[in-house]
Amino acid sequence: MSDKVKIGIVGVGTIGSVHADAYAKVNRADVVALCDILPDRLKEKGARHGVETLYEDYNELLADSDIEAVSVCVPNNMHAPIAIAAFDAGKDVLLEKPMALSAQEGQAICDARDRAGKVLQMGMVQRQSADGRFLKEVIDKGQLGEIYQMRVILRRRRGIPGMGGWFTTKALSGGGGLIDIGVHFFDLAMWTSGCWNPTRVSAKTYTKFGSPMENYNYTSMWAGPPDYNGTFDVDDYACGFVRFGANTTMNFEVCWAANTEPQQFLEILGDKGGIRMGSGAPVLLTEVGDRIADVKMDYDNKRDNFAEEMRTFIAAVKGEAEPAATAEQGVTTMKLIDAIYRSSAADAEVVVE
Ligand SMILES: NC(=O)c1ccc[n+]([C@@H]2O[C@H](COP(=O)([O-])OP(=O)(O)OC[C@H]3O[C@@H](n4cnc5c(N)ncnc54)[C@H](O)[C@@H]3O)[C@@H](O)[C@H]2O)c1
């Protein structure tokens, strides 16, 4: 009998295809079925990925007893309903980010996993990046000392995806740039530092570029072209300050669009060293003897992030390892994002609940 895990992919848009390509690189995974509500796209993706079993209704895919595990690659509003239905059908789940529209929905997914006794891995692919793993290694070896401050900068100049489509419609996405891209580096900051206790947030979100949609100037748009009959009711800029208990803090700027230079990094400061990832080769800012020193760090930066994500998921399904990113961590990240939106609406610091 084959020891391959039979996979179904629900949602074969941009990331669904990335999942299919990545599973194809993993010996013990076999994508046996695809599902999408768009019949033409489904047929085209079936041909592209060499998958013959195609479903237009995810309930049919979940009822297929041949399938052991599913990748959930649909718009954010469908994460909770499909992940919960998958657990009820006895499948293991690899769930794309963000976990759901809110921490409450995330918790419902967690509960469904527990009822089913199945595996859930969050699609936090940045954890599989060479830079992310290197940063974690440096921290785990104590080379930064005691961590007290983190900074997340994710700034696009003009990078709103699918203007007017599901990405920019709050009911379908849960929010804009903050929930779409912020989630990656918030997870990375908490995972590498081990600070999974966000306690208080003061933040502000803005909507400056999508309204009216026709006035948005851009040079490229993925998930496009724009649909000017659609909706734009989400943030395109967010900034704020997070406390992790009494001794650690994080400030952040996350935006799809702003009149600024594009920039992307996670910086972590400790009392022995500070380091940035995401902006070229990492340099450890530290002291050597009694000298202030910049130490250029050497590491293997060749890694296929998505293939590694699938490999870790298959190992978790087989019971050989813990999921690379857990549902509980997903819920904590959603609580942080919920608090950022609440703080902005309240114009005040709020407790992360
Ligand atoms: N990990 C990453 O780096 C990364 C990158 C891009 C997107 N994502 C996440 O992946 C998810 C999908 O994003 P995308 O860019 O692929 O979007 P997309 O719009 O390209 O694809 C989504 C697909 O889901 C299909 N779909 C919608 N409702 C469905 C349903 N009920 N049943 C089956 N199929 C359905 C759509 O027809 C579409 O083909 C989002 O949650 C997004 O945040 C993650």
Q: Whose CA is nearest to atom 43 of ligand 1?
A: 97
Q: Whose CA is nearest to atom 33 of ligand 1?
A: 36
- What distance in angstroms lies between residue 302's CA and the mean position of ligand 1's atoms? 27
Q: Which CATH number fits domain 5-126+306-325: 3.20.20.70, 3.40.50.720, 2.30.30.140, 3.30.9.40?
A: 3.40.50.720
- What distance in angstroms lies between residue 268's CA and the mean position of ligand 1's atoms? 31
Q: What's the CATH number for 127-304+334-351?
A: 3.30.360.10
- What distance in angstroms lies between residue 14's CA and the mean position of ligand 1's atoms? 7
Q: For residue 238, with 0-12 CB atoms within 10 Å meaning exposed, 13-18 middle and 19 or more buried, which class applies?
A: buried
Instruction: Tell me the β-bridge partners of 69.
Output: 7, 92
Report domain extents, the chain. 5-126+306-325, 127-304+334-351
- Tens of each residue's pLDDT in the chain, 353 residues: 579 999 999 999 999 999 999 999 999 999 999 999 999 999 999 999 999 999 999 999 999 999 999 999 999 999 999 999 999 999 999 999 999 999 999 999 999 999 999 999 999 999 999 999 999 999 999 999 999 999 999 999 999 999 999 999 999 999 999 999 999 999 999 999 999 999 999 999 999 998 899 999 999 999 989 999 999 999 999 999 999 999 999 999 999 999 999 999 999 999 999 999 987 788 999 999 999 999 998 888 889 999 999 999 999 999 999 999 999 999 999 999 999 999 999 999 999 99
**Degrees, nearest 5: CA angle 261-149-305:** 65
- What distance in angstroms lies between residue 57's CA and the mean position of ligand 1's atoms? 15
- What distance in angstroms lies between residue 292's CA and the mean position of ligand 1's atoms? 47
- What distance in angstroms lies between residue 16's CA and the mean position of ligand 1's atoms? 7
Pocket, ligand 1, Cβ cutoff 6 A: 10-16, 35-38, 41, 58, 73-76, 78, 96-97, 123, 125, 180, 223
Q: Are 5-126+306-325 and 127-304+334-351 equal in CATH topology? A: no
Probe residue for ligand 1, chosen from 96, 121, 304, 337 as the CB with the greatest number of ligand atoms within 8 Å: 96
